[in-house]
A and B are shown apart, each in its own frame.
Chain A
Amino acid sequence: MTMTIAAETAAKPARARGALRRQGTLVLRLGALAMFALIMAWFAFTTRGFVSPANIFNVIEQTAVMGVLSFGMAVVLIGGGTDVQTGGIDLSIAANTGLCAAVYATLLAGGSGDLAAAAAAIGTGIAVGLLNAFAVVRLGILPLLATLAVMNIVAGLELTVTENQVIGANSTVTQLIATGRFLGLSVLAWIFILFSALMTWAIHYSRIGLRLYAVGGHPEAARAAGINVGAYVAGTYAFSGFCAGFAAILLVARLSASTTATGQLLLAILAAALLGTVFSRRFVPTAGGTILSTLFIGFLANGFQLSNVSYYWVNGVQGVLILMVVAVTTFAKPQGK
């Protein structure tokens, strides 16, 4: 009897807390959207040419590489769960892109065909993804640490391939990606739009996508339902590696070369993927959220440029966004999985 009363009195604040959280998440989602809109409006009114169609299409094109990588990260977050400490994360994704770009550019510069070079770049990306998968799924290392270690291995490999040099590369395919246009939009912008559409279907409407949410959200229930949780989690890292390889091809095409400092993309990718979680009720990444956040970060950098605000601030703002999202979602997320 005493225990029942105690349980009930404990349940009341818990229920109240649950209601508060539900309201909180709604406020948060609307707040995030309002913040996006406000910042965009501020740039539109204060900077020259921000809302011109040329500038908007430029930003879509500029975010294509980051968009592909943000989807790679989002899939890892979905499959591994969004717990900040133990959940899925791929810190090696940007460094992996750098390595794949180095492989792609080196092969093209050495006279390899487009197909062989592209296959090698994507193969390299997937191989690194499988290394992450092995470390996380087989060895049971926390993804945060496993992918951090792999990031360093991969960054070292990139330096070995490139000797920290810019490697120029040009081919029919890279030319097409860099300069081609279709219906008034650049090929890169089209690639981002089509890739986003494909990912929206894969994440939200395909069987694999739905199972992936189950694996990330309730691994035990997923396992009980007969889903091979390990294979799905491993698959997310392999997919993230694929995204790195694919993004590397786009990057080399855009820059006519593989360059150093690709690893610096990590902060923006993390910010986009984590910010994307704010738009779902359960704070998990969604396709819409990922697209919106990627574009937001692209427009933020663009708006800063046009306002003559130093680019150094962009890194700072991305860092603050990550902190805010992690702090807010940790508070607002329902207890337990």
Chain B
Amino acid sequence: MSGLKILAFGGAAFAAMLSASVTMAEELSLEGKVIGITTIRSDNQADRLFYQSAIAEAERLGAEVIALDAQSNDQTQVSQIQTLIAQKPDAIIEILGNIEVLNPWLARVKEAGIPLFTIDTTTPSATNVVASDNYGIGEQLALKMVADMNAKGNILVFNGFYSVPPCKIRYDQMKYVISNFPDVKVIEPEMRDVIPNTAQRAYADTSDMLTKYPNEGDISAVWACWDVPLIGVTQAIDGAGRTGIRTYGVDGSADFIAMIEDPASAAGAVVIQDLVGMGKASVQNVAAHLAGQKVPPFTYVPHLIVTKENAAEVIPTLPSTD
């Protein structure tokens, strides 16, 4: 299990960075408050850590928590938000999801007079949105990818979740970066990553694309807005013995980090988000708001990039929970 590190971001350096970004001058309390927490899913590491850390932090501060997981089903999440509104909690935290589906329902939360806080869902209805700086993430990852490609070659892009706000921002930033490099092209049509069976499906799709583009140099990079599909993609590339292709994504799934650490693997770079810190930050903002403090509209939680080059140095500093 040595390769399986669950990255929970408790490291001193990141904690220091985080404390600067969250309003928590003194220990706040949620004693006697009811907090509704709803997420579109909690079946991959990023979503699970957002959700569980928000629940844990709210309970630690003394709140009664109504926590609802929609299991990737938009209809269920909408029903759950509607149910939460009827419960009239003191605040609602909404995590991830499809913005087109959510926006009208989040507006209803606001209309009902319930303060809304979100993680990774940028919406005008929210009192505060906690997110990584996805603009920075998208740009940093794309620049690293273009640099590794020597500003030349074709990118296979997985773009199945453009309706999820952080994915949209990271994708748009990636396209903006490569628009300045005329020799870098995106292979059309783009691929679609899916939920569930994300890694398995990406493995099969990549195997097909490697057959379709059989020569070295046909594909130089594979990009996705998260890293679960890239686990399958990288396994397919490594399994086929193809060289000259690197994979790039976001989140910091244990398996993908292990692949970046492996010099022989195609995994190129991953931007790691402070997933636990983001869940905590949202709850801290709820507590601050309910205590009458002013809360900023956005809380950006720091991220860092792990690459083949800095892996040996950075990965050991990431705390492990096994």
Contacts and interface: CB of A to CB of B under 8 A. Distances in A.
Contacts of A306: 66, 83, 87
Nearest to B67: A308
B316 to A, nearest CB: 36
Interface string B51-75: 0000000000000011111111111
A311 B78 contact: no
A165 B101 contact: no
A305 B69 CA distance: 9
A58 B86 contact: yes
B163 interface: yes
How big is chain A's contact interface, by range?
Answer: 35 or more
Given A165-B192, A259-B101, A311-B69, A58 B83 contact: yes
Given A54-B86, A256-B103, A257-B98, A165 B162 contact: yes
Given A49-B86, A58-B86, A164 B160 contact: yes
Contacts of A254: 75, 78
Contacts of B74: 166, 255, 257, 259-261
A301 interface: yes
A52 interface: yes
A178 B104 contact: yes
A62 to B, nearest CB: 5
A166 B100 contact: yes
B163 A308 contact: no
B295 interface: no
Residues of A contacting B: mostly: helix
A133 interface: no
Contact of A163 (B75, B192, B195): B192
A255 B69 CA distance: 17
B68 A164 contact: no
Contacts of A262: 75
A310 interface: yes
Contacts of A265: 75
A261 B72 CA distance: 8
A310 B69 contact: yes
A2 B214 CA distance: 83
B87 A311 contact: no
A311 B39 CA distance: 12
A115 to B, nearest CB: 23
Interface in A145-166: 163-166
B71 A312 contact: yes
Contacts of B75: 65, 251, 254-255, 259, 261-262, 265
Contact of A302 (B66, B67, B83, B88): B83
Nearest to B70: A311
B68 A311 contact: yes
Given A255-B74, A306-B66, A166 B87 contact: no
B194 A164 contact: yes
A228 interface: no
14 contacts: A55-B87, A62-B79, A164-B160, A165-B162, A179-B104, A254-B78, A256-B100, A256-B101, A256-B104, A257-B98, A260-B74, A302-B79, A306-B66, A311-B68
Given A52-B86, A311-B80, 18 more contacts: A48-B87, A58-B82, A165-B160, A165-B163, A179-B104, A254-B78, A256-B101, A256-B104, A259-B101, A260-B194, A260-B195, A265-B75, A302-B83, A305-B66, A306-B66, A306-B83, A310-B69, A312-B71
